[in-house]
A and B are shown apart, each in its own frame.
Chain A
């Protein structure tokens, strides 16, 4: 029986991973909820977020709160890219088959990841943690870096903000309405095209922010995009495609299964995660908290 401190540390590391995944998967889920498209390029936006954060830190440095500027700048850059892609290319595929939309997002993966390779090379890049968050706490005998605690607090904050925007603001009402019935919303005089662009911008922002914030924790390398997008798929499928709290729950479950899976059957923790995804799809295809769609 592993001791309690270890279990605690393990579950906290699972939680931290969950919060990152939530940041990324919430954007994916948002796009799916409104546009009914699975955006493979979302993982690439996350990777670009990490690279941009690295680049901006290179330019302006890390100290005196500059890291936060870099993270914000990276997320905004990725958001702008997402908006441009939607406006210039993606919107012309809305009336085409689902497969074409999926393959278009995959084409973006291929193109953008190579562009990242051209700009930043294949060497891994790393960003140091900002000075104000380099220390660590001791809780129940487990060592928890400040940065992880910050992420643990940030996840729910973003979740609540997001929820508030969706439920209590005019823009949020439009987004929810667009998810249910695009034509009727358009007939009521809402600019649905513009709304779609903003949804894409917001989702890309969340993906880019996730990437920028993970840069100080993990090395940024080519290939992190195809890895993370599958993880994000698992999360949104478990929680329910297009369901907001479902994504949060899915991320929590994923984090815990992964971190305790490594503890109990180290070799098959990845297997367990995908098995869970398959099981959810078999029993409740619309996910734990999702609603069946027509």
Chain B
């Protein structure tokens, strides 16, 4: 019965009330969660569904962020152009890098994705004229919400909002659309084939599947959505910095994905929510967040290898089954 409830839709609707119900701070946290949820879900397509462990997924996040940042700040283009451009540029880079990566297996795949990500980072770090180098690119403008604002002010029942609230709504809608698209991809025959490859690439090859081509397609799709997440994050963060593409970012998003639960569709989004919320709670008590994150990770690896989603599902099954068994 509970499975019939459209949970995703309910969460989306609830999320729309965050600026009205909560403070400015909660809107900020919610916006952070929404963007990271997309980033982590895009990685899950690779790690969870296709079985490709990428250690350089931050590269596409960084590329998307820089694309949107440069187009909006330096070229003065509209968000409507700069946002899709983030996905396209990241996708093209993922196509080029992925072409070489999918030729390798396991640890070598991880190493090559890492190498490419570090190349992207080195370019962002040193190419001062375009990327702002080590200092990054501060003051990325918000998209213009003048038109929306006029409509909203005309309807007093809707309440009044800040620019950052409008941006949160924009992110919410765009991320919801992206997640819907990803969900469709995962459930499609193409998505099923990715899972087949994860389970047994050799057998998939035997039944005539071009495994590399499927893996490359998954790599590009993951890159596109990571790029879109990066594009949103650059504006949200009010600046783009080289460490967006640094390897520690790649492991952060991997941890999120693992914490939520790989292979379950909404697991990574839950992981993003849990980690960011926890971070906000803990930072007010101690500056040693990495220590706590590391400890959580160790507990997770030893006690709940299925992540939060895996733990909840296991608990749920036990609850449902026990009255029948007794």
Return chain A residues, CB-CB under 8 Å to B103.
282
- A271 lies within 8 A of B301 (CB): no
From B110, B112, B114, B298, A282 is in contact (CB under 8 Å) with: B112
- A109 lies within 8 A of B254 (CB): no
- Shortest CB-to-CB span from B274 to chain A, Å, is 16
How many residues of chain B are within 8 Å of chain A by beta carbon? 39
From A98, A111, A286, B294 is in contact (CB under 8 Å) with: A111
> Could you tell me the distance between the alpha carbons of A153 and B291 in the complex, rounded to whole angstroms?
38
User: What is B's interface to A at a CB cutoff of 8 Å?
Assistant: 47, 53, 55, 100, 103-104, 106-108, 110-112, 114-116, 118-119, 122-123, 125-127, 247-248, 251, 254-255, 258, 288, 290-291, 293-295, 297-298, 301-302, 305
A96 within 8 A of B: yes
Max chain B Cβ within 10 angstroms of own Cβ: one of A115, A270, A278: A278
From A36, A100, A110, B301 is in contact (CB under 8 Å) with: A100
21 contacts between A and B (CB under 8 A): A36-B107, A38-B107, A38-B111, A40-B251, A98-B106, A102-B110, A106-B251, A107-B293, A107-B294, A109-B294, A110-B291, A110-B293, A111-B295, A226-B247, A241-B107, A274-B118, A278-B100, A281-B100, A281-B108, A281-B112, A285-B108
> Could you tell me the distance between the alpha carbons of A172 and B111 in the complex, rounded to whole angstroms?
28
- B118 lies within 8 A of A108 (CB): no
A277 within 8 A of B: yes
Return chain A residues, CB-CB under 8 Å to B293.
107, 110
- A107 lies within 8 A of B122 (CB): no
A to B contact number (C-beta, < 8 Å): 112
User: What class of interface size applies to chain A in its complex with B?
Assistant: 35 or more
| CB within 8 Å of B: which A39-90 residues | 40, 89
Return chain A residues, CB-CB under 8 Å to B115.
234, 237, 274, 277-278, 281
- Shortest CB-to-CB span from A230 to chain B, Å, is 6
| CB within 8 Å of B: which A241-294 residues | 241, 267-268, 270-271, 274-275, 277-278, 281-282, 285-286
| Main SS class of interface, B | helix
Return chain A residues, CB-CB under 8 Å to B298.
89, 104, 107, 111
A113 within 8 A of B: yes
- Shortest CB-to-CB span from A5 to chain B, Å, is 28
Per-position 1/0 for A25-41, Cβ under 8 A of B:
00000000000101010
A114 within 8 A of B: yes
Instruction: Give the residue name and chain of the A residue nearest to B99 (CB).
Output: A282
- Shortest CB-to-CB span from B311 to chain A, Å, is 16
Question: Given that A98-B107, A274-B118, A275-B119 are contacting pairs, would A114 and B53 also be in contact in the complex, using a CB cutoff of 8 Å?
Answer: no
From A102, A108, A233, A268, B126 is in contact (CB under 8 Å) with: A268
A1 within 8 A of B: no
> Could you tell me the distance between the alpha carbons of A248 and B42 in the complex, rounded to whole angstroms?
38
Question: Given that A98-B107, A226-B247, A281-B111 are contacting pairs, would A274 and B301 also be in contact in the complex, using a CB cutoff of 8 Å?
Answer: no
- Shortest CB-to-CB span from A242 to chain B, Å, is 10
Question: Given that A237-B111, A267-B126, A275-B119 are contacting pairs, would A108 and B294 also be in contact in the complex, using a CB cutoff of 8 Å?
Answer: yes
Max chain B Cβ within 10 angstroms of own Cβ: one of A89, A100, A106, A110: A110
Return chain B residues, CB-CB under 8 Å to A267.
126-127
A93 within 8 A of B: yes
Return chain A residues, CB-CB under 8 Å to B123.
271
- Shortest CB-to-CB span from B56 to chain A, Å, is 10
Return chain A residues, CB-CB under 8 Å to B122.
268, 270-271, 274
Return chain B residues, CB-CB under 8 Å to A237.
111, 115
> Could you tell me the distance between the alpha carbons of A277 and B103 in the complex, rounded to whole angstroms?
16
Known A106-B255, A281-B111; further 13 A-B contacts with Cβ < 8 A: A99-B53, A99-B254, A103-B255, A107-B298, A108-B294, A109-B294, A113-B290, A117-B288, A118-B288, A271-B123, A274-B115, A274-B118, A281-B115
- B301 lies within 8 A of A111 (CB): no
Return chain A residues, CB-CB under 8 Å to B47.
99
